[in-house]
Every structure is written in structure tokens, then in C-alpha cells.
């Protein structure tokens, strides 16, 4: 019996050879739950970063941002952990992952980052709640909060970006082709989404105008960086020959018009106008904040879906890996 030969996947792409068109790698099992976890982790991590920065600014007008940021971070940790455990399909895997710590495993690092972020955020939020019920919080309590919010912010930075590194550590062509861009993009998108969550909370709780202006500046910068990184990611994927999956099944339209334009571009222009006209009456921007949050989730879900699609495409893998050619 003769051994099967390597055959072109299709006639339109004859220079790349595959084994009867079979995928070279398996797609991941990650779906909507993981997209939700990555999004929530970014929102909580960035909210904690902003709250810590506002606290060190020592501006009493930023007190609502500090308080709401700490509570949002705790809520994200509470919601994110069950989503991650459910996606593992076997709850015991979470316990087994806590038994070891491997520096070379993004999943292991991410597990400990989530645990550290959750514990530190809980401690900071608990102290925030107790101090809010006291007329004059003790100096010891205030010092303890300042000491605890530093590791909470540091782990918040990791929460915002480690998921991008986790995706890039796989053999999926679309994710592995742009490790730096995806991690940086997730970080910028998380900062924009965290700012949007704080803006929504401020509108509901009546934050000061100074807090709104500070959030506008952060949101403008984060959205601008996000737009640049999304366009850079597109270009990088084309250079590596793995961009086809991002353009199939409406993913390209959702990426360009949903994530880039509505989720980042329009909010960037909105916040830029508010910065240039600070004395003008400030209208509620709830729809803009909701668009940023929707765009942040859409960005992650599109990249996860397109990545799984690229794993099913043998040509994407061989273009990226430099596989056998005629």
C-alpha cells in the first residue's frame, strides 16, 4: 500500500502543501465564556489601576473614582473566577492548577494572577467599605489600604494583558502571529473599558465634574492607542498570511465597524471633543460608554473565534510556520 502523498489544500493555493487538506493543529475549545472572562478581567484590572492612580493623586474630587474602581475590581474578580472554572469543564482542574506554579506556563501564571488579584481586591474593597461607614477612619486603616492597593494595581496590570500572552503561547496561527500586538491591544482595550465602566458608575452615582474630566483624558488616550493597535494587528496578520480567518463569516465587518469604529474610534472623537471644550455643558455619555464596553467584548470574541477558525485552515498554519512548499 502506497503512503498517502501531500496534496494542495485547494487549486487556488498550489504553492502550499498540506496532508489532504487536514488541519495541522486543533482549534481550542474556548468560546463565549472565555471571551467574557477575558473582558471582565480587563475591566476589573484597569478599574483597580485607575482607582490606585486616583488615590495617589490625593485629589478629594476623585474620591468617587477611587471608591467605585475598587468595587468594580472586586465584582470583576467575583464574576471572572466562576467563568474560568466553568470553562475548565472539570472544577478539580482549578485546584490542581493552584498546587504548582510554573514560570513557563501562561495558564499557571494566570491562575495565580487571578487569585492574587481577587484576594487583594477583596481586602481593599472591604477596607473601603468599612472606612466609608466611619466618620474618621484611622490612620492605620488608611495606610493599610495604600499598602494593599499597590499589589492590587500590579496584579490588575497583569489581569489586563496576560490573557493576550496566553493566546499567543498556543500554536494557533492567528494568535501566535502577533504576540506583542495582542497583549498590548488587550491592555489598551481593558483601560478603555475600565474607564467606561467607571464613567457609567459615575453617571449613576453623580460623580464630580473633575472626575469626569480625568476619565475623559484616560479614555481618549486609551481609545487612541487601541485604534492604532487594532490597525497594526490587521497589518501584522496580513504580513504573516493568516488574516483570512479574520475576514470570514462577517468577522472582518464586526472587527472593522464594531470593534475599531464604534468601540474605539467614535469614543475617541467624543472624548477628544470634551477635552478640547472643557467649559461646554457636559452631556451624559452613557451610550458612548456602553459602546466602548460592547466593543471591548466584541474585540475579544472576534479574535477568539477567528483564531479557532485559523487553526482549522492548514494553509494558515503552513504560511506562518514556513511549511513545505513546491
Task: Mention every residue, 6+ apart, whose C-beta is less than 8 A from residue 171.
Answer: 25, 311, 317
**DSSP character at residue 283:** -
Cα–Cα separations (whole angstroms), residue 174 to 103, 152, 179, 245: 24, 32, 9, 8
The CA distance from 35 to 302, in Å, is 9
Domain ranges of the chain: 25-316
The CA distance from 177 to 234, in Å, is 11
As a whole number of Å, the end-to-end CA separation of the chain is 24
Cell numbers linked to 196 = 467606561
> pTM for the whole thing?
0.87
Q: Contact, 46 vs 194, CB < 8 A?
A: yes
What pLDDT is recorded for position 31? 81
What pLDDT is recorded for position 207? 61
The CA distance from 136 to 264, in Å, is 41
Residues in the chain predicted with pLDDT less than 70, given as ranges, are: 1-21, 88-95, 205-208, 248-249, 279-284, 322-326
4 C-beta neighbours (distance < 10 Å), count: 8
What pLDDT is recorded for position 265? 93
The CA distance from 179 to 319, in Å, is 17
SS3 13: coil
The CA distance from 207 to 209, in Å, is 7
**What CATH number was assigned to the domain covering residues 25-316?**
1.20.1630.10
Closest CA to 84 of 120, 10, 31, 141: 31
Residue 48 burial by Cβ neighbours in a 10 Å radius (0-12, 13-18, 19+):
buried
Radius of gyration of the CA atoms of the chain, in A: 22
What pLDDT is recorded for position 16? 53
The CA distance from 198 to 209, in Å, is 13
The CA distance from 210 to 60, in Å, is 10
The CA distance from 178 to 172, in Å, is 11
Closest CA to 87 of 114, 50, 126, 66: 114
Q: Contact, 188 vs 226, CB < 8 A?
A: yes
Residue 33 burial by Cβ neighbours in a 10 Å radius (0-12, 13-18, 19+):
middle
pLDDT tens, position by position, 55-88: 999 888 888 999 999 999 999 999 988 887 777 6
Amino acid at each position: 500500500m502506497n503512503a498517502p502523498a501531500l496534496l494542495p489544500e485547494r487549486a487556488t493555493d498550489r504553492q502550499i502543501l498540506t496532508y489532504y487538506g487536514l488541519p495541522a493543529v486543533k482549534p481550542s475549545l474556548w468560546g463565549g465564556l472565555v471571551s467574557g472572562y477575558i473582558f471582565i478581567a480587563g475591566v476589573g484590572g484597569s478599574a483597580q489601576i485607575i482607582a490606585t492612580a486616583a488615590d495617589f493623586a490625593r485629589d478629594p474630587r476623585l474620591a468617587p473614582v477611587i471608591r467605585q474602581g475598587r468595587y468594580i475590581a472586586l465584582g470583576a474578580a467575583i464574576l471572572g473566577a466562576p467563568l474560568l472554572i466553568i470553562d475548565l469543564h472539570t472544577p478539580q482542574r482549578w485546584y490542581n492548577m493552584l498546587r504548582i506554579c510554573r514560570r513557563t506556563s501562561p495558564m499557571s501564571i494566570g491562575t495565580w494572577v487571578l487569585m492574587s488579584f481577587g484576594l487583594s481586591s477583596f481586602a481593599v474593597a472591604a477596607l473601603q467599605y468599612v472606612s466609608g461607614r466611619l466618620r474618621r477612619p484611622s490612620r492605620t486603616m488608611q495606610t493599610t489600604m495604600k499598602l494593599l492597593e499597590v499589589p492590587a494595581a500590579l496584579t490588575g496590570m497583569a489581569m489586563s494583558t496576560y490573557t493576550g500572552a496566553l493566546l499567543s503561547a498556543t500554536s494557533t496561527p492567528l494568535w501566535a502571529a502577533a504576540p506583542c500586538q495582542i497583549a498590548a491591544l488587550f491592555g489598551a482595550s481593558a483601560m478603555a473599558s475600565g474607564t467606561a465602566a467607571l464613567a457609567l458608575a459615575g453617571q449613576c452615582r453623580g460623580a464630580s465634574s473633575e472626575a469626569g474630566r480625568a476619565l475623559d483624558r484616560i479614555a481618549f488616550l486609551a481609545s487612541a492607542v487601541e485604534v492604532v493597535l487594532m490597525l497594526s494587528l490587521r497589518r501584522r496578520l496580513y504580513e504573516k498570511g493568516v488574516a483570512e480567518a479574520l475576514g470570514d463569516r462577517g468577522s472582518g465587518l464586526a472587527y472593522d465597524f464594531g470593534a475599531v469604529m464604534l468601540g474605539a474610534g467614535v469614543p475617541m472623537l467624543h472624548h477628544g471633543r470634551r477635552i478640547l471644550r472643557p467649559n461646554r455643558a457636559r452631556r451624559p455619555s452613557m451610550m458612548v460608554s456602553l459602546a466602548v464596553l460592547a466593543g471591548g467584548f466584541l474585540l475579544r470574541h472576534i479574535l477568539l473565534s477567528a483564531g479557532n477558525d485559523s487553526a482549522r485552515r492548514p494553509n494558515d498554519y503552513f504560511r506562518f510556520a514556513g511549511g513545505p512548499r513546491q
